[in-house]
Amino acid sequence: MNREDAFRALAEREQKFRSKIPANTPMLRSRYLGYVVDEQVEAARKHLQALYDSQLEVGRDFAALAEYAAHPKYAFWLEGVRRHLQRCDDILAEQPPGA
């Protein structure tokens, strides 16, 4: 994926996370979940920025590309993106149905 597509995919992922926050969630909980999404997506964005600033790329769904595997920081940055997005998934999955 080129840089623009990668950041667009991250923005789409952020919107998906936000849509998973139930509308009837108490205000404080909703704010907390929004804060978690903000923080984790921003951290993923920084890892993605580091990748592209180093002339590296990611594949679809932030998959690793074999041609960059030899770069000493590639796996670290890519795992950072995945870890922060997974953290959002995990927190939002903990929400009771119709919270």
Q: Give the confidence band of 97 by pLDDT, cuts at 50, 70, 90.
A: low
d(CA 23, CA 32): 14
**95 has a pLDDT exceeding 80:** no
d(CA 6, CA 4): 5
Please report, for the chain, the start and end positions of each structural domain, with discontinuous segments joined by +. Answer: 3-93
Q: Give the confidence band of 94 by pLDDT, cuts at 50, 70, 90.
A: confident
**46 has a pLDDT exceeding 70:** yes
User: CB–CB of 59/65 below 8 Å?
Assistant: yes
List, as one string, the DSSP characters of 26-95: -HHHHHHHHHHHHHHHHHHHHHHHHHHHTT----GGG---GGGTTSTTHHHHHHHHHHHHHHHHHHHHTS
**84 has a pLDDT exceeding 70:** yes
Percent over 70 (pLDDT), the chain: 96
